[in-house]
């Protein structure tokens, strides 16, 4: 697989703002369980004082990259999410599940510049072989089955949300778990990961004539090795293959409320417009679309063809999630 394709995949994760948090109104508790002989670490975040209060669950699925959930520094802790978790914990118990065998908490000095673990070299082998769509959605559903009967969980409402890679995980969870009542599908591509790569190439002002052909050759190799979980690189053939399906029919098969959020300047934006067309054609009434005009994959506004990182729209997006799911 070409190094160029691997490096561009990094762009698919959500942007982690380096603002240090302070004055949080939530309590963060670490937990551990086991799924199919793999260790599963996760956080339950609740409004302080409401830890044992009966509330619905809000499960947030991480995007790509081997990042710890809690990143610390000498000045304090980095945010768990690109928006304040207090917005969610006012109404829900928030569940965030760690990437397999990536430390749930780590100092920023031990991470790479994009906050991935470890500081150098590949992630742990147990992360690499379990870093795929099938593992994530089955693991997450297993955890929901464990949590739904807790006294502090109101299982009449379970919202699952995912951005970027997390959108595919959230979708597969909703398809296969009857307890999930609401789906937030954010920044995904209904036609899969490889179409995002091709579309990104086509709109790159510096595109080379051979770029898309190289991506198609990569796809041939991925398909040929679709079951392989190679440990000599971070993302396996199986990882890419499982994320490059056409998810449109699965989305359209859902009858629970579905919210679709995306930036109109995102490489995935036009494909969510396509999904909207199909929803109208099928006369589906359970979908809501909130396109963020002139925003990129992580909801930063575009100015002179570049993201303006001084304006963070994530809080507005998360607020729209809460209003929709209320």
| Interval 81-116: pLDDT, tens | 999 999 999 999 999 999 999 999 999 999 999 999
Here the tokens at position 97 are: 């599940």
Predicted confidence band of residue 218 (pLDDT cuts 50, 70, 90): very high
The per-residue pLDDT of the chain, averaged, comes to 92
Predicted confidence band of residue 16 (pLDDT cuts 50, 70, 90): low
Long-range residue pairs from 210-213, CB within 8 A, at least 24 positions apart, any chain: 211/4
Q: How far apart are CA 302 and CA 267, in angstroms?
A: 13
Evaluate the CA torsion angle 139, 91, 86, 25 in order and state its sign: negative
Mean pLDDT, range 25-42, rounded to an integer: 96
Q: Are β-strands 153-163 and 55-61 bridged in parallel, bridged antiparallel, or unpaired?
A: parallel
Going by the DSSP 8-state scheme, the letter that residue 295 receives in this structure is B
> Are the beta carbons of 267 and 250 closer than 8 angstroms?
no
pLDDT, tens digit, for every residue of 298-322? Answer: 999 999 989 999 999 999 999 999 9
Omega prior to 118 cis, within 30 of 0: yes
> Are the beta carbons of 284 and 299 closer than 8 angstroms?
no
Q: Is it the case that residue 3 has pLDDT exceeding 50? A: no
Q: What is the pLDDT of residue 24?
A: 67
Query: Is residue 282 classed as helix, strand or coil in its secondary structure?
Result: coil
Q: What are the E-state strand segments in the chain?
A: 26-35, 38-47, 55-61, 70-73, 76-77, 93-97, 105-107, 153-163, 182-186, 258-263, 287-292, 302-303, 306-307
CA dihedral 145→149→152→153, nearest 10 degrees, is 50
Here the tokens at position 132 are: 């795929």
**Domains of the chain, start order:** 8-325 (3.40.50.1820)
Predicted confidence band of residue 40 (pLDDT cuts 50, 70, 90): very high
Q: Is it the case that residue 55 has pLDDT exceeding 50? A: yes
**Proportion of the chain above pLDDT 70, given as a percent:** 93
Here the tokens at position 235 are: 């993302």
Residues in the chain: 326
CA dihedral 87→90→91→94, nearest 10 degrees, is 70
> Are the beta carbons of 317 and 300 closer than 8 angstroms?
no
Mean pLDDT, range 38-60, rounded to an integer: 98
pLDDT, tens digit, for every residue of 185-202? Answer: 999 999 999 999 999 888
Q: With a threshold of 0.75, does the pTM exceed it?
A: yes
């Amino acid at each position: 697989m070409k190094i160029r394709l691997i490096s561009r995949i990094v762009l698919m994760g959500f942007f982690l703002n380096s603002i240090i948090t302070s004055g949080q109104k939530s309590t963060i508790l670490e937990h551990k369980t086991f799924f199919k002989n793999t260790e599963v670490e996760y956080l339950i975040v609740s409004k302080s004082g409401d830890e044992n209060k009966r509330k619905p669950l809000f499960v947030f699925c991480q995007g790509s990259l081997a990042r710890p959930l809690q990143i610390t520094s000498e000045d304090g802790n980095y945010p768990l999410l690109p928006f304040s978790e207090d917005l969610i914990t006012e109404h829900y118990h928030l569940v965030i599940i760690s990437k397999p065998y990536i430390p749930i908490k780590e100092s920023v000095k031990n991470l790479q510049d994009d906050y991935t673990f470890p500081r150098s070299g590949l992630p742990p082998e147990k992360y690499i072989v379990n870093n795929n769509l099938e593992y994530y959605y089955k693991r997450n559903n297993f955890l929901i089955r464990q949590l739904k009967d807790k006294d502090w969980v109101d299982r009449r409402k379970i919202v699952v949300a995912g951005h970027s890679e997390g959108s595919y995980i959230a979708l597969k969870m909703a398809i296969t778990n009857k307890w999930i009542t609401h789906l937030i599908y954010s920044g995904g591509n209904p036609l899969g990961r490889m179409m995002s790569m091709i579309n990104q190439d086509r709109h790159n002002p510096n595109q080379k004539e051979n770029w898309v052909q190289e991506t198609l050759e990569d796809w041939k190799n991925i398909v040929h090795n679709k079951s392989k979980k190679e440990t000599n690189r971070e993302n396996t053939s199986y990882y890419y293959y499982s994320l490059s399906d056409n998810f449109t029919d699965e989305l359209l098969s859902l009858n629970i409320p579905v919210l679709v959020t995306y930036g109109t300047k995102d490489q995935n934006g036009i494909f969510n417009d396509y999904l909207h067309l199909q929803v109208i054609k099928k006369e589906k009434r359970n979908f809501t679309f909130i396109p963020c005009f002139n925003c990129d994959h992580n909801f930063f506004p575009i100015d002179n063809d570049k993201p303006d990182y001084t304006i963070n729209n994530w809080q507005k997006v998360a607020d729209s999630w809460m209003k929709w799911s209320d």
